Chains A and B, each alone.
Chain A
Amino acid sequence: MIKSFERYARIVWTPFFLSILLVITWVVVELNGDIFYQNEAEKLFLRLMIVIGLQIFSGNSGVLSFGQVAFMAVGAYMSALLTIPLEIKKFTFLSMPEVMKSWVFPAHLNEWNGTTGTLAGAGFAILFAAVFGIPIVRLIGVAAGIGTIAILVAMNVFIQQTSSITRGTSTQIGVPQTTTLGSTVIWLVIAIVIAYAFRQSRLGLRLRASRENERAAKSVGVNIAKERYLAFVLSGFICGLGGALYAHYFISFSYLDFYFDLTFITIAMLVVGGMGSVSGGVIGAYFLTFIYVAFQRLEVNGLFDGKAPSGTADLVLALALLLTLIYRPKGITGGKEIPFPTDWSFRWVGRLLRGEIRPKAHSLSEGLKVLGLDRLSSKDKGQR
């Protein structure tokens, strides 16, 4: 009885733990009531959505994607188009092509607090991901990175230049504000469950096998292109969802919101937390948000006498990513999920107390060696 209970508890443990973390954050921020922290929390949640989308594809397949924010943009723009009231649309989208006018203008998907509009936006993101996924899953290594960057830039140029559909460089007007912190948390929990279920499923396992060793995976019958394609489309859906929620929370948005800055911060979150696991994405997002907000406060309020110059927060973020890449390339979690409580090991505490774990370095030069910094000054050893 207890055995079987533990079996089921183990299955739901990680998504359960992460969801609890999200709900606690939401409750704390909601009770606090400060609009600044509410906006930061919403930003955290929406970025986390993209991080989870990214984890589904990049984390499981090992192919890095810089393009997921493009699908977020699709979700945001399409769900905005389908929910803006007709009276406003008539003026803001005067020159929209007739082909689109016929179905965009009558649409007013505001049922169930905007859920239909959000899902419609995510649906269009799926379409785009399905089209762009075809070439991307055939690329490997750095070519895939380049290809996804190309998607991001192409999408950005398209939004910027096609003002008849996207209002170009102007911000949107009249998007109904239907997203709340609470609804974002609900969607996020769904996304986490999807991502975790995908990772643990047969599909996810095959994809992870192909990440570890492509040839070995092929030899046991893994169709890598197919698995990657499914992950890419699923990831497009989650990102589109994030975009649609973004559109209906920060109601005035423009093409600048979905470009390199957001791409960078979401990739940083995933890499710092650990690409291999959903927990990694969540922990990375929380960790970097914490650092970011702390330094932002320093910029605004200052500490002691001096204020940090504006931009410090972004710089610290980039440095955090660089340091993680150099010293802990698998991220904080090392690609593992949060362990089940009975597996938590505190043996290292005892070992530390008994003096079995010694500091690795006793002098500065040894310390540098532990950190790998000695390589900077050493002569040629012909090492790559």
Chain B
Amino acid sequence: MIVGSASVVIQYILDSIANGSLYALMALSLSLLFGVMGLMNFAYGELIMSGAFTMYYTHSWGPVGMIAMTVIVVVVMSLLMELLAFRPLRKAGPSTLLITSFALSIALQKLAYMTTNPGIPKTVRPYPWLTQQFEVSGVLMSRLEVIIWVMTIVLLVGMTLLLKRTALGIQLRASTEDFRMSQLVGVKANRVISSAFAITGLLASVVTVLFMLGHGDVRPNVGQGPVLVAFVGGVIGGLGSLPGAALGGFVLGLVLNILQATLPRSLQGHTTMFAFLGVIAILVLQPGGMIVSIRKLRRKRDQAAALSEGAPS
């Protein structure tokens, strides 16, 4: 009995990690754009949507062709978004950018309604060898879950390497810290922002593929729900910091999934509501997000230590 319940707990945790990983990737890409150009991109959900429709229409091409096409379409969509909507508005304030992304999101959703005949329900047929569950010492797992974990780790390590080791990464990080200053020392604005959008698109396409292979249903507003959750997670972790946002997204995805499984049915639906009310509280109390504030505390402590060391001499 005890063994059984332990494996149930492990089961929940493993499922939730897979869920959290996807939100971590989404929050990471939201945070990247937020840092570089102060843009909270609602239209990110429509990147996922366009990817989902691509998967639906190219399903017959086999997995490799489908995934390749999805990646291409989503990255191109992301770059087009920047070129047509956000580039002309680069000098505008963050609120204007927010309305713009909102308008863009609605426009793309309506475009999808217009062009895809939503009367017919569409699903991306899952591959049975991916989603079929097998048992490892009492815990059910699917290959898709394992792939999600591996892909998340690979992408996070890849992003870290990109940001820490390459010239582009250093430019990106410099732009998130202080955009104008980084321009003054020779970082090219268009290049940095375009590559931020390209990275966003790449992450979005991976999220789309992993998400759609598990969920399947393709609707014009398929991206809206996940993006809202990822964005809450990003705010909790701190949209201004890349690792903070990723961790925030991960933790929120994990916690929501565990709550969904463990809370009584009558309270389940309200979890999202509390998450959003929590966002308001965090915005007021810790506007930089939880992770950033921990870092700030540490910095303050270091400064205090440095002062007390310096005092006697």
Contact = CB atoms under 8 A, between A and B. Distances in A.
A384 B87 CA distance: 9
B107 A135 contact: no
B99 interface: yes
Interface in B16-62: 38, 40
B232 interface: yes
Interface stretch (B165-173, B186-194, B245-253, B296-304): B186-194
B180 A154 contact: no
A158 B270 contact: yes
A288 B103 CA distance: 14
Interface residues on A, range: 35 or more
A157 B96 contact: no
- Say whether chain B's binding surface is mostly helix, strand, loop, or mixed: helix
Given A145-B40, A315-B111, A325-B99, A260 B106 contact: yes
A183 interface: no
Interface string B63-105: 0000000000000000000011101111111111111101110
A62 B224 CA distance: 26
Given A150-B276, A322-B100, A380-B190, A311 B107 contact: no
Contacts of A147: 279-280, 283-284
B104 A372 contact: no
Interface in B222-267: 224, 228, 231-232, 235
Interface string A134-156: 01101101111111001101100
Contacts of A143: 283, 287
Interface residues on B, range: 35 or more
Contacts of A318: 103-104, 106-107, 110
Contact of B90 (A158, A160, A373, A384): A384
A318 B109 CA distance: 10
B147 interface: no
B1 interface: no
A326 B99 CA distance: 11
A238 interface: no
Interface stretch (A40-48, A99-107, A263-271, A277-285): A263-271
B106 A154 contact: no
A150 B113 contact: no
Contacts of A145: 40, 94-95, 98
A321 B279 contact: no
Contact of B277 (A142, A154, A162, A382): A154
B136 interface: no
Contacts of A132: 280
A329 B93 CA distance: 11
A322 B107 contact: yes
A342 interface: no
Interface string A158-191: 1011100000000000000000000000000000
B183 interface: yes
Given A154-B276, A326-B89, A64 B269 contact: no
Contacts of A63: 95
A236 B282 CA distance: 23
Nearest to A270: B99
Interface of B: 38, 40, 83-85, 87-100, 102-104, 106-107, 110-111, 113-115, 179-180, 183, 188-191, 224, 228, 231-232, 235, 269-270, 272-273, 276-277, 279-281, 283-284, 287
10 contacts: A147-B280, A151-B276, A264-B103, A314-B106, A314-B110, A318-B106, A322-B100, A329-B92, A382-B183, A382-B189
Given A157-B269, A260-B224, 6 more contacts: A146-B279, A157-B270, A260-B106, A264-B103, A325-B103, A375-B87
